[in-house]
Amino acid sequence: MGAHRDPAVARAALVREIVAGGALADPAWRAAFEEVPRDLFVPYYFVGGPGGYERLWGADPDPARRERWLAGVYTDMPLATRVRDGELLSSSSQPSLMARMLEVLAIRDGDAVLEIGAGTGYNAALLCHRLGEGLVTTVDLEPEITESARTHLAAAGFHPAVVTGDGARGCPSRAPFDKIIATCTLPWVPSAWLRQCARGALIEAPLATGLILLKVRDAGYAQGRFLHTPAYFVPLRGVAPGPERDLPYAGGLPHPGLESDLFRFLLALTEDSLDPYEAYELWRREGRPRRERFGVTVSGGRQWAWLDDPQGPYTWPLRDAA
């Protein structure tokens, strides 16, 4: 535990672990993770689960508990940061997953980025480090969350636009955006996001138990495929989650498992269209397809998921706001 007593040493060790796992090849993102202190953004977090949570915090008078807190902050795992009546409301995502998501967005100098789900403010701080605070907007529905994120960001020296509002509506006053990244699970892609995107913009968001990367053609059309990376996040607040979205590991990667994880992805993606037996037969017949064979199209007010081909035989309408 001694190595964790110095946050800078612990942070450097975490970055080396993420790099060893294949992320942070871009020097700009590696520098962001090396220089932005995660401990400023999670002054406390909760460990445990629905059976009961234990709060660990950096100002605990017990040195051993402070040690546990700091060790957890710089472990590659998601941290539960806001719990209400036993329900997880917000988390600090797993750093290696954050790194992968940020790199996939192919952010370039000058890009304006909208983040949906402010969380602790840590992800927004990484974006500010990479782009400058003037190009970063982060939105969350809960005033307590945005106020906390704003405070954490200021402590780290960043002052992006932190907006309290419905993430599904985006932030029209700050549009257009070159990149939109969501850190909460969606049942569909909000149409407002497309209208606030520049032509050719990218949208990256958790959907079902995967990450969809969409390229925006115009205000009415976007299309893209899922990444191979599985991911579990808390749902976008104000949206009722489906049964497969009430899953552990919020803000992180699942524990290593068998092919059942891929089948659960198909179930979550098609929950309103296929019963489990039909879904399993399709999944087996098509060679147990992985996430990257699936995609999503948004066009003319319609949204659908598909396997292999947007116009192919296997398409499913996405559950929408109605």
Q: Quote the CA–CA distance of 149 and 104 in Å, as a whole number.
A: 24
Lowest mean pLDDT among 28-37, 183-192, 246-255: 246-255
**Has residue 256 got a pLDDT over 60?**
no
Lowest mean pLDDT among 14-23, 159-168, 229-238: 229-238
Q: Which two tokens stand for residue 217?
A: 């053609």
* pLDDT for residue 19: 97
Closest C-alpha among 78, 76, 92 to residue 23: 76
Q: Tell me the C-alpha to C-alpha distance, in Å, between residue 174 and each of 109, 124, 154, 198, 226.
A: 18, 15, 20, 12, 27
Q: Quote the CA–CA distance of 252 and 78 in Å, as a whole number.
A: 5
**Has residue 321 got a pLDDT over 50?**
no
**Distance in angstroms between the alpha carbons of the first and the last residue of the chain:** 51
Q: Which two tokens stand for residue 15?
A: 């970055």
CB neighbourhood size of 284 (10 A): 11
Buried b (16+ CB within 10 A) or exposed e, 106-142: ebeeebbbbbbbbbbbbbbbbbbbbbebebbbbbbbb
Q: Which residue blocks in the chain are alpha helix, DSSP H?
A: 7-20, 27-35, 63-73, 95-104, 122-131, 143-155, 191-195, 260-269, 276-285
Domain ranges of the chain: 2-317
Active site residues: 90
**Has residue 237 got a pLDDT over 70?**
no
pLDDT, one tens digit per residue, over 25-49 is: 999 999 999 999 999 999 999 988 6
The predicted model scores a pTM of: 0.89
Q: Quote the CA–CA distance of 255 and 97 in Å, as a whole number.
A: 13
Q: Predicted confidence band at 118 (pLDDT cuts at 50, 70, 90)?
A: very high
Q: Tell me which CATH homologous superfamily contains domain 2-317.
A: Vaccinia Virus protein VP39 (3.40.50.150)
pLDDT, one tens digit per residue, over 259-312 is: 678 888 898 898 878 888 888 899 999 999 999 999 999 998 899 999 999 999
Given the structure tokens 């472990």, which residue do they identify? 75
Share above pLDDT 90 across residues of the chain, in percent, rounded to a whole number: 71
Lowest mean pLDDT among 99-108, 113-122, 172-181, 259-268: 259-268
Q: Predicted confidence band at 212 (pLDDT cuts at 50, 70, 90)?
A: very high
